[in-house]
Amino acid sequence: MIMPLLYVSTRCSTAELEEGLLFEAVAAPHAMGYEQMHLLITQLLAYLSTDSRSLDVVRQAAYCKRMLAGVLAAGDVGMMNTLLCHVQQMLRRSRRLQGLLDHESGGTSGYNAHASDPVEAGALTAPLWELSLLTQHYHPRIMENALQQLGRKA
């Protein structure tokens, strides 16, 4: 169940956010309006930037995967670019997250996209394949941003 954004943005403590309310809300950006999604992104950016030390790499990886899934589901190019830029910032800050950019062929991952808790999602076991998919996006800005994050030239 997705929490209403006004509840998430005005009443959640850090402990509640860590319990997954914000993580659940990021799961379905298409279910929210444009303005609500921008408020959610603002809340997420504030949470991840101020509490980044309290967030372990497992949680950060789960948020990266959720945001990239949001990029694939979002219909607005501005929102897609915002999410991609934030993923890029997270990848720059953590060497362990940069390891998610390496794709090994074959095999299955233990990532659970439907997990309500970021720790239980298993995001460190799956590469960020969504970026590879976005390199074929129809919009040039999205394609360039994905290529840049993967270290390739457009």
Q: What is the pLDDT of residues 73-82, one digit of tens each?
A: 877 788 888 8
Cα–Cα distance for residue pair 147/145, rounded to 1 Å: 5
Return the pLDDT at 22. 63
For the chain, the domains span 5-149
Q: Which of 12-16, 42-46, 50-54, 124-128 has the lowest mean pLDDT?
A: 12-16
Computed from CA positions of residues 58, 50, 99, 96, in that sequence, does the dihedral angle turn out positive or negative?
Answer: negative
Q: Which of 14-18, 43-47, 114-118, 147-151 has the lowest mean pLDDT?
A: 14-18
Cα–Cα distance for residue pair 130/66, rounded to 1 Å: 10
Cα–Cα distance for residue pair 141/69, rounded to 1 Å: 17
Output 76 or 105, whichever has higher pLDDT: 76
The answer on pLDDT for 70 being more than 90 is no
* CA-based end-to-end distance of the chain: 39
Three-point CA angle 101, 49, 77, nearest 5°? 60
